[in-house]
Chain A
Amino acid sequence: MRVALFVTCVNDAVFPSTGVATVRLLERLGVTVDFPAAQSCCGQPQFNTGYRTETEPLVRRTVRAFEGYDHVVTPSGSCAAMVRHHYPSFGTEAGALAPRVHELTEFLVDVLGVTDVGAYFPHRVTYHPSCHGLRLLGLGERPRRLLEAVKGLELVELPGAEECCGFGGTFAVKNPDVSAAMGADKITNALSTGAEVLCGADNSCLLHVGGMLRRQDAPLRALHIAEILASTEEEPWA
């Protein structure tokens, strides 16, 4: 199978390792991955801040970049949700892209039909289901099932898992105090699990929570689920 990778702008610039992990994982599962270079940003930050007109060129660009692919895979729940839920309001062409875009765990479980991806990651891990993946995409148990099948991995339940971490895009900048208070509670819950890794399927949330963890020098690091699933006994991920 041939798919297009939609790496997303945040991953491209700040978390390329998530993109690399996604490529390795998909190739290991026998998928041929293309990276259409014309892609950039799905337009979510512009859209959610109330700038619909400014979103339009990015929607057009994204639609053009992924023309001709039956499956577009992205390691970002919130960007997948942007395309799935809001693109249809930008016209029929944009609407036609919506069902072809899959968030990574969705693609693995629903399209490839695998839950055991042959990964090895001998660590204690807790999972934060980001709001857009949870509520807009309805990822449900998919990420957990994938993590449970990873050899050596001990999955521990995150208290208050379904509560927002406080990132919310420009919300973190416009309402810094509330955002930080939400993040602090998320961290308290995550630390209470005794996990070494806080895992998620959305690097923007991990950017926020991870940044707070680093500021506190906490014994816990944030990691994208793609990097855990890409890790094998032969080639362990950092």
Chain B
Amino acid sequence: MPAFPEAAREAVGNPTLRANLRHATHTIRDKRARAVAELDDWAALRETGKRIKDRTLRQLDTYLLQLEEAVTAAGGTVHWAADAAEANRIVTELVRATGETEVVKVKSMATQEIGLNEHLAAEGIAAYETDLAELIVQLGDDRPSHILVPAIHRNRGEIRDIFREKMGSWGRPAPEGLSDAPAELAEAARLHLREKFLRAKVGISGANFMVAETGTLVVVESEGNGRMCLTLPETLISVVGVEKVVPTWQDLEVFLQTLPRSSTAERMNPYTSMWTGTTDGDGPGTFHLVLLDNGRTDALADEVGRQALRCIRCSACLNVCPVYERAGGHAYGSVYPGPIGAILTPQLRGTASEVDASLPYASSLCGACYEVCPVAIDIPEVLVHLRGKVAEEGGKGHRLERAAIKASTWVLDHPGVLATGERLASATRKLHPKRLPGPGARQWTESRDLPELPAEPFRDWWRKNRT
């Protein structure tokens, strides 16, 4: 994966992609603003959500143990996975124990994060995505580019083509003469998926929340496909990040208000499914919960960065982000794109790779993300904090940059030298070319003219006219 600036360049140069993204993000951000404006206690809800998450994170171990006890008491089994490899191994063994070679999946960021589908495929197990957008991504042999609308980068025509070409090789083919009318596309997906739901013996899910006091897991969704995955199979395996626990049902009340309004601009999401262990004759007879760490406790150890773990994956920050709007989700090189991805991914994966080291800089720090975040994550603050870490590590280019910054600080800390420099620049201004070579200057003058420097700096004007 190339660093963010290079990956973004490709997206910026793709007019279809830019039009798709612009249209989708602007529509949803305007709707969100209206849905949020309806509530006069939004600020209080936001603050409460933030506090609940912070309180939970401070005693994460206590709540997780409470959760484990409750899940076990309700007939489920809890597994702890320190990293992606361990989680994949656990899930594969659980599926294998059922003797099945295919599973249905409800949209889950956690399983994407660990690359579960690829791992299962290598072990001879086919995983079918059942969320409409995930299905589009899977059939198109593509990667998700948005956490709520993974196929946001595709338009209807592209989706029709993918359905026509690919559905047949995965199961029931697309109906003859499929058009790009939304109703026809949805019906084609429904028929294709129904076949899978009725056949599958194993379901794999994530969860939006886990309630510690009762061991209940919660998924909120719009299509009802998730509910099919959660109730029809005989075995259900849920893979969930440890930060998704909330202490009580009362805490849930806050997020069930803020999440739908922030993400889909709905007052309430269409389907809220909750499951607690197993019940005879109702739903899956076997239930496994895989609690995933994969870098989360490392993030928790970072005083500034840990606020990223408050995230409820609403995607509001993506939809208002001017950088995401131009660069698209793929440029962020992970399942978590946009502003939250820029602060979460480098914490979960570290900053050793080029793309991870470039993510904290993938922002103009405009602050629009912080403004809309329903749990008040100060994303700009974390970005600057992570920039400090990347610079500290002194990777590619940062040693030079630090030297330049040190030099500029020295000049700025010596106004006499600064004034001389300014005077020199002003005196030679007629000689300055409009386009410049060299790092920084070249990029700058590719699309902009540098301003013509003034005849004299302000300091000199002041000295002549006011002293």
Q: Which residues of A contact B (CB under 8 A)?
A: 7, 9, 11-17, 19-20, 23, 33, 35, 37-41, 43, 45-52, 54-55, 57-58, 61, 131-132, 135-136, 162-164, 166-184, 207-208, 210-212, 214-215
Contacts and interface: CB of A to CB of B under 8 A. Distances in A.
A229 B366 CA distance: 26
Given A58-B412, A135-B366, A215-B447, A16 B457 contact: yes
For the residues of B in contact with A, the DSSP-based class is helix
A64 B323 CA distance: 37
Interface stretch (B64-72, B193-201, B273-281, B401-409): B401-409
A182 B326 contact: yes
A118 to B, nearest CB: 21
- The 8 A-B residue pairs with the shortest CB-CB distance, nearest first, are A168-B364, A50-B387, A211-B448, A164-B366, A16-B458, A176-B443, A131-B366, A19-B458
Contacts of A47: 384
A162 B29 CA distance: 13
Contact of A12 (B9, B440, B448, B457): B457
A211 B450 contact: yes
Contacts of A20: 458, 461
B421 to A, nearest CB: 8
Contact of A178 (B12, B388, B389, B449): B12
Contacts of B384: 47-48, 50
A148 to B, nearest CB: 25
B327 interface: yes
B363 A58 contact: no
B8 A177 contact: yes
Contacts of A7: 458
Contacts of B391: 49-51
Contact of B447 (A11, A15, A176): A176
Contacts of A49: 387, 391, 401, 405
Specify which of A7, A39, A173 lies most central, judged by the most chain B CB atoms within 10 Å of its CB. A173
A168 B363 contact: yes
Contact of B459 (A37, A50, A51, A168): A37
Contacts of B80: none
A173 B443 contact: yes
Contacts of A132: 367
**How many interface residues does chain B have, given as a range?**
35 or more
Contacts of B366: 131, 135, 164, 168
B5 interface: yes
B418 interface: yes
B461 A175 contact: no
Specify which of B9, B322, B408 lies most central, judged by the most chain A CB atoms within 10 Å of its CB. B322
Given A40-B415, A48-B384, A58 B364 contact: no
B249 interface: no
Contacts of B409: 43, 46, 54-55, 57-58
Given A16-B461, A178-B326, 14 more contacts: A12-B458, A13-B453, A14-B454, A35-B466, A46-B405, A48-B384, A57-B413, A162-B368, A176-B5, A176-B443, A178-B327, A182-B323, A183-B448, A211-B448
Given A12-B459, A46-B405, A41 B412 contact: yes
A173 B443 CA distance: 6
B446 interface: yes
B446 A166 contact: no
Contact of B457 (A13, A135, A179, A181): A13
A171 B448 contact: no
Contact of A40 (B412, B443, B446): B412
Interface in B385-438: 386-392, 401-402, 405-406, 408-409, 412-413, 415, 418, 422, 425
B444 A173 contact: yes
A175 B362 contact: yes
Specify which of A15, A48, A172, A175 lies most central, judged by the most chain B CB atoms within 10 Å of its CB. A175
Contacts of A208: 448
B360 interface: yes
Specify which of A16, A163, A178 lies most central, judged by the most chain B CB atoms within 10 Å of its CB. A178
B177 interface: no
